[in-house]
Amino acid sequence: MSQCNFFVTCPKGVEYLLADELRELGLEPVRNAPAGVWVQGPLQAGYRACLWSRLANRVILHLAEVEATSGERLYDGVMAIDWSVHLSVSGRFKVAFQGQNDAIRNTQYGAQRVKDAVVDSLRNADGERPSIDLTDPDLLIAARLHRGRLQLGIDLSGESLHRRGYRTEKGAAPLKENLAAALLLRAEWPAMAAAGSDMIDPMCGSGTLLIEAAMMATDRAPGLLREHFGFERWLGHLPEAWTALRKDAEQRALVGLAACRLHFDGFDRDPTVIATAQRNIRRVGLGDLIRVERRDIDAFVRQPDWSAEGLVLTNPPYGERLSDRQALGGLYQRLGEVIKASMPGWRLGVFTGAPEIGHAIGLRSYKQYRLFNGKLPAQLLLFEVDDANATVAREVTPPGEVFPKVTHPERAQMFINRLRKNRRVLGQWARKQNLDCYRLYDADMPEFALAIDVYGERLHVQEYAPPRSVDARAARERLAEALAVIPEALDVSSSAMVCKQRQRQAGSQQYEKQAGSADFFTVHEHGCLLRVNLKDYLDTGLFLDHRPVRQWIQQHARGARFLNLFCYTGAATVHAAVGGAASSLSLDMSRTYVSWAQDNLALNSVDPRRHRVEATDCLAWLAGKPADSERFDLIFMDPPTFSNSARMEGVLDIQRDHGRLIDQAMRRLAPGGLLVFSNNFRRFRLDEAVAARYQVTDVTAATIGRDFERNARIHSCWHIRHPGQGSGGPQNS
């Protein structure tokens, strides 16, 4: 296996950090998935990830993907794999099965069918066969069922990699080791440690944050204490490669520990968890480096041997250990007070499942990261403890108040209140829908004519060009006022906000670069991965208002031949392919967007032989005579409102030309097929002659997502069929 495919799992929200880490370990990321990353590389790099990854849960060596639309097909697919290269006939194995569908209704049944196939494929003429061992198997088979396909692999990890081996007992509300490592990476601890900074945890519990920080600073592999990995009794194991990796890690740990001069100090008011922390520290061999002692937060004082700058990182209670929310607010307030008084020049990181109580700290966070502590949504709030920040916090916190309040002009305060209300309501809706991106605000208040879209942890702010009746200077002042308060209202860094002015674009202008940052990142939408760029173009690569249309296409594309005209970055094609489309053709005039669409398809592991993207003038292509084989079951056409690009044949005016475009598209539609026709021209009216020639259903109302209900004319959408061939429309998301 010179080049292998791996699926590396991790806590939800850590995927991007893990991809970067795995790249440094010699594995090339292919695509991110929820709670994991697909990567490629040699087997030795997989071993290195098991030993060195601070973020991973499991490293799974991918073997095959088999059809699992029935128990019999699942069995046949697993049976076809040559298991003799992985497990001896006298060996012991275990199946870890995830997922279900209509045929495989529970994981126990799925695991049983996999087990039967493995056993039957290895059973010899004498009846000897491998056995099941749930506690100490020679081979752990990972089976994940997804959309009728079963992904099979070998779990190289054994037990989860977050179990380093130093923590055999737990304090209250334990923080998993790899989540602790993620917090340290988000707080930029490795760079701080390299610069000579110390690390303090004033509510250290069982010491996990301190130990993980010290392991990073001393170049200690997190898997060095583990007694067993899942690959050690696998028949494909390379013992010499593994031994060399371990020896190198052991030498690096010795050198790193001898060279480390940093201080790691932890405090907690609970003597029981302090005793636990001390035992954990001794097990990992860092007793001379990490100091912990019993001390209440009120007794926290800066020690004279601490560095001038450093990191205070802590995971205080947030409802698990203290049920009284008022008392919890007081605890957070006291934490802020002592850190501001004792640690100027330091960085403070607070990991909390109650970020609204985080305001009681009395500092303004410059970054916030959404993560999960188990299944509990949480945030890491980062603060710089400086005199200006602390002074502002003291001035705006009235005596006896737990939460700081900042005074703004009435108009700005109303804007802030609206943003926070929208975030509370729409943010909850988006999380339930598993969406990274949504429209938070759309000129809800006439004084602030902005569209604000959330893209993960970033904001895309578009200013609508003011009408001529509005004084230009007044418009600029309102924009400046809005941009000044948006970061505070939504708890984001100003560096995470991109602002543009939205104006009508014509011809090639809509394709021209606005900047050259190449700052692409990946977002999730209904199980699809899509690349976006907030800076370089007028649009981001994803039209959020068409999300319900894309979801409908995904739900109805199975087995269909799909055509995407004016495809832009191919998001609708990705949804069709993920939904099971048999094939697709996506056309757009812009080579930039065609390349972008190809990247989106590759990000979702779509076969480029069945799903083609081509750079062509859609008007010329539609006007051409369709070949006999060029028939499609599902067509999506979302043309621009107006275009006069030099690369196009003529000028496109959607109101004038839509009848001809629809007729040409219907020539490509197979019997029983459906054309989804949409556009964003607010004054658009469908030609009555179109409704007379075809069976037309206006589905606009069902294609407006909850985040666009305030702007119901954002687009119009119709389902168009040949006469006498059924009806229907998409369901609202």
Same domain for 281 and 208: yes
The three-class DSSP label of residue 487 is helix
Residue showing tokens 């997989």: 46
What's the CATH code of the domain at 357? 3.40.50.150
The alpha carbon torsion through 641, 646, 651, 653 (nearest 10 deg) reads 0
- What's the number of CA atoms in the CB half-sphere (13 Å) around residue 34? 10
* pLDDT score for 389: 58
Same domain, 662 and 552: yes
Q: Please give the tally of structural domains in the chain.
A: 4
In this structure, is residue 485 part of a structural domain?
yes
CA distance 255 to 441: 54
Q: State whether 387 and 420 are in the same domain.
A: no
Burial class for 467, CB neighbours closer than 10 Å (0-12, 13-18, 19+): exposed
Residue type, 323: S
Confidence at residue 506, expressed as pLDDT on a 0 to 100 scale? 40
CB 161 within 8 A of CB 177: no
Supply 395's token pair.
Answer: 């001035």
Query: Shortest CA distance to 709 belongs to which of 424, 492, 420, 425?
Result: 425
Q: How many angstroms from the chain centroid is the CA of residue 415?
A: 29
Same domain, 554 and 463: no
| Cα R_g (the chain), whole angstroms | 29
497 and 559 share a domain?
no
pLDDT score for 644:
64
Report the alpha-carbon distance of residue 142 to residue 98 in Å, rounded: 8
- Say whether both 78 and 143 belong to one domain: yes
198 and 94 assigned to the same domain: no
Does residue 563 sit within a domain? yes
Residue 341 lies in a domain: yes
Instruction: Quote the tokens at residue 445.
Output: 């208040």
189 and 317 in a common domain: yes
Q: Is there a domain that residue 428 lies in? A: yes
Please indicate, yes or no, whether residues 483 and 603 belong to a single structural domain of this protein.
no
CA distance 577 to 572: 9
202 near 213, Cβ under 8 Å? no
Number of helices (H), then strands (E), in the chain: 19, 30
Residue in 343, 269, 268, 339 with CA at minimum distance from that of residue 306: 343
Q: Flag whether the pTM goes above 0.75.
A: no
For 31, list phi and psi in degrees, rounded to 5. Answer: -165, 155
Are 390 and 432 in a shared domain?
Answer: no
The edge-to-edge listing of strands for the beta sheet with 92-98 is 28-33, 36-41, 4-9, 58-67, 149-155, 139-146, 92-98, 131-132
Q: Are 434 and 528 in contact (CB under 8 A)?
A: no
**Among 365, 395, 425, where does a domain finish?**
395
Domain presence at residue 515? no
Q: Residue 349: what are its φ and ψ, rounded to 5°?
A: -120, 130
Residue 39 in contact with residue 396, Cβ under 8 Å?
no
- Terminus-to-terminus CA distance in the chain, angstroms? 44
385/465 same-domain check: no
Would 82 be classed as within a structural domain? yes
pLDDT at 555 (0 to 100)? 96
Q: Which of 511, 621, 639 is nearest to 567 (CA)?
A: 639
Q: What is the pLDDT of residue 188?
A: 95
Same domain, 482 and 426: yes
Which pLDDT value is given to residue 393?
37
430: CATH: 3.30.750.80
At 351 the pLDDT is 95
- What the block records as the tokens of 694 is 């075809």
Contact 481, 515 (CB under 8 A): no
Which among 367, 395, 423 is the end of a domain? 395
Q: Are residues 355 and 389 in contact, defined by beta-carbon separation less than 8 angstroms?
A: no
Spatial CA neighbour of 362 closest among 386, 382, 399, 332: 332
Torsion of CA 328, 333, 337, 343, to 10 degrees: 70
The β-bridge relationship of strands 310-314 and 198-201 is parallel
DSSP state of 444: -
The verdict on residue 9 lying in a domain is yes
Contacts for 18-24 with beta carbons within 8 Å, 24 or more apart?
A: 18/53, 18/55, 18/56, 21/53, 21/54, 21/55, 22/49, 22/53, 22/56
Question: What percent of the residues of the chain are helix, what percent strand, and what percent coil, each to the nearest 5?
Answer: 35, 25, 40
Mean pLDDT by 10 residues, the chain (733 residues): 89 92 95 92 97 98 95 95 96 94 88 95 92 94 91 96 87 80 96 96 96 98 95 96 97 96 96 94 95 94 94 81 53 92 95 80 89 85 77 36 47 90 92 91 89 94 77 70 84 82 46 64 92 90 96 96 97 97 96 95 94 94 81 96 63 89 95 95 92 95 93 90 68 38
Q: Is residue 509 part of a domain?
A: no
Spatial separation of the C-alpha atoms in residues 72 and 80, rounded to whole Å: 12
Residues 706 and 669 sit within 8 Å (Cβ to Cβ)? no
User: Distance between CA atoms of 392 and 362, rounded to whole angstroms?
Assistant: 9
| Dist CA 540 CA 702 (whole Å) | 24
Report residue 417 as tokens.
């209140």
Q: Is 244 helix (H, G, I), strand (E, B) or coil?
A: helix
pLDDT of residue 431: 87
Domain stop point among 476, 503, 530: 503
Domain that holds residue 541: 520-721
Neighbours of 194 (CB within 10 A): 10
The enclosing domain of 18 has a CATH number of 3.30.2130.30
Residue 401: predicted pLDDT: 33
